Amino acid sequence: MEGFKCLVLLILYIVKVESLAIKGTSLTMYDPCGLEVIHFDKLTDSYWLGVLNLGLYRNVTEAEIEIHFEKKVRIYGQSQDLSVLALEEGFAFLIRPSGPLRQLYFFNLALECLGENATNVPTVTKLAMNNITLCKDNVKTAQTLESPDVEVNDNKYREHICGRKFSNHTELTSVRSEAKAGDWPWHVAIILNNTDVDNQFGGTIISMTAVLTACQNVASDNEGGMLPADMLYVVAGISNLHKSEQIGKQVHRVKEVICNVNYNHDTSNSDLAVLKVDGLRYTAYVQPICIWGPNYDKSDLFGRQATVASFSNDDVGMLRAIFTRVQNDTTCWNYDKIYVTAVNEFTICAGNGPTSDINIMESGAGGGLVIPVMQPDQKVSWFLRGVAAMCVKTAGKCNPHHYAIYTDVGPHYSWILHHSGLQFKPNPNQQDFV
């Protein structure tokens, strides 16, 4: 214990992150229909933690959730202000929060009477909220790549539905562990010379011709010099950097590098770059993220859970993801004086706090801070709100007890659209979080 305490005496300093390796134990999550409104975190083979996220519904003042399971379960140990009524013993329940609605509620779930070959996932066959069915078998069946208009042939613009997962990548996912190709279909690896996978960093697909990353990754010096575009390759649709044959893999040479003119190497303000490519194809493994903005007010983000994905810079080279939480600026300023200049109106401070063992770690800035947003069609779209820029290092690694800094894309919304071939067009089934 004394040796551990001595670690905090090591000098801490801000550095640019290179890749994002993930530290922490694995977490398996089951999310019925990929809705995010209710999910289950695996504790053991038979026990799961249920998480009800009503924070996605900003205008709901009362909630009644009806949930049906494929197998017999037992619900117990729920939040004090959460009542659970059995409609069909062990198979169907009515869940009601009492009092003013909070963002999160919790309950425990145990799987009962599992056979030898039975799966240990608490599969949901129906989920309804306030008498509106959100998830059933036919909803799951419809969640395929063909369900959105990926390309509208009779329109001169290539229209798409952004920020959605398809195929089998909506319900069962893993964080802090190896992801499957398609779990985070907008995350890409950007590699030098198409061969040096140990020299890679992260990026996010925002259109068929553009990937967003951090300017620091492509800056050859501190005087505004850029790496030659033809040195850079975007690798999309994969889950392993070292596996050459993968069903969804796409490799595209970068044609142009565009850094934000306001990028400041010393402060990481406007640390954004658009990499122009040709021919990204939207598939079950490659999809674009939605962009959050235009927005100069980040106060609604404080306390919200977000996700960051990254490839590890090691012999494994796997895609991994972690949950992180957006912090109030004041929390970060008070935590350490190093955040006083790093956290401002153009950056976001996020992390799980001083007791955490997970953080973005070592190598590859440019990965996206993404947040789920409920849409009018009662489905979730994922929005990009930040780009990884800085971390606090201890003994050469990003300290998990400190917070990481992300460039806020909200104030840069117009710049991103201008350089990525996108046009702002209202869509009744896609909207920002307002």
pLDDT of 178: 64
| Lowest-confidence pick of 6-20, 27-41, 194-208 | 6-20
Q: Are residues 258 and 405 in the same domain?
A: yes
Reported confidence tier of residue 41, pLDDT bands at 50, 70, 90: confident
Please say which residue of 90, 116, 142 terminates a domain: 142
Over 70: is that where the pLDDT of 398 sits?
yes
**307-360, pLDDT tens digit by residue?**
998 887 766 778 888 888 999 999 999 999 889 988 999 999 999 888 877 766
Q: Are 266 and 297 in contact (CB under 8 A)?
A: no
Task: Return the CATH number at 36.
Answer: 2.60.40.290
Q: Does a structural domain hold residue 341? A: yes
Over 60: is that where the pLDDT of 261 sits?
yes
Q: Are residues 122 and 206 in the same domain?
A: no
Q: Does a structural domain hold residue 161? A: no
Average pLDDT, the chain: 80
Q: Are residues 183 and 54 in the same domain?
A: no
Q: Are residues 20 and 35 in the same domain?
A: no
Q: Does a structural domain hold residue 135? A: yes
DSSP state, residue 105: E
Over 70: is that where the pLDDT of 220 sits?
yes
Question: What is the average per-residue pLDDT within 215-242?
Answer: 85
Q: Does a structural domain hold residue 158? A: no
* Closest to 407 in 3D by CA, of 271, 259, 294, 304: 271
Task: Return the CATH number at 383.
Answer: 2.40.10.10
CA pair distance 83, 94, nearest whole angstrom = 8
Over 90: is that where the pLDDT of 257 sits?
yes
pLDDT of 61: 87
Apex 329 CA angle, 323 and 331, nearest 5: 75
| Lowest-confidence pick of 11-25, 81-95, 107-121, 136-150 | 11-25
* Closest to 242 in 3D by CA, of 198, 211, 181: 198
**141-192, pLDDT tens digit by residue?**
665 544 443 444 444 444 457 888 864 555 766 554 567 778 899 999 999 8
**138-150, pLDDT tens digit by residue?**
776 665 544 443 4
Q: Are residues 106 and 16 in the same domain?
A: no
Q: Does a structural domain hold residue 153? A: no
Q: Are residues 20 and 36 in the same domain?
A: no
pLDDT of 370: 94
pLDDT of 11: 28
Please say which residue of 119, 142, 165 terminates a domain: 142
Q: Are residues 377 and 262 in the same domain?
A: yes
Partner residues linked to 235 by β-bridges: 189, 251
Q: Are residues 17 and 39 in the same domain?
A: no
Q: Does a structural domain hold residue 165? A: no
Please say which residue of 142, 166, 197 terminates a domain: 142
Q: Are residues 184 and 118 in the same domain?
A: no
User: Which residue is listed with tokens 């939207």?
Assistant: 282
Reported confidence tier of residue 259, pLDDT bands at 50, 70, 90: very high
Partner residues linked to 398 by β-bridges: 393
Q: Are residues 135 and 60 in the same domain?
A: yes
CA pair distance 139, 144, nearest whole angstrom = 10
Q: Are residues 286 and 391 in the same domain?
A: yes
Number of separate domains in the chain:
2
- CA atoms 426, 427, 428, 432: torsion sign: negative
User: Which residue is listed with tokens 């209202």?
Assistant: 426
Q: Are residues 264 and 131 in the same domain?
A: no
Which long-range contacts link 416-420 to residues 24+ away (Cβ below 8 Å)?
Answer: 416/206, 416/212, 416/272, 416/274, 416/291, 416/293, 417/291, 419/210, 419/258, 419/274, 419/276, 420/206, 420/207, 420/209, 420/210, 420/212, 420/274
| Burial tier of 174 (Cβ tally within 10 Å: 0-12, 13-18, 19+) | middle
Q: Does a structural domain hold residue 416? A: yes
CA distances, 286 to each of 164, 177, 331, 384 (Å): 10, 20, 36, 15
Range of the domain at 315: 11-26+176-429
Q: Does a structural domain hold residue 230? A: yes
Residue ranges of E strands in 260-376 = 273-276, 290-291, 305-311, 319-325, 347-350, 360-361, 368-374
CA pair distance 389, 401, nearest whole angstrom = 17
Residue 313 is encoded by which pair of tokens?
Answer: 């810079």
Name the H helices within 17-145: 137-142
pLDDT of 219: 85
- Counted residue by residue, the chain has a size of 434
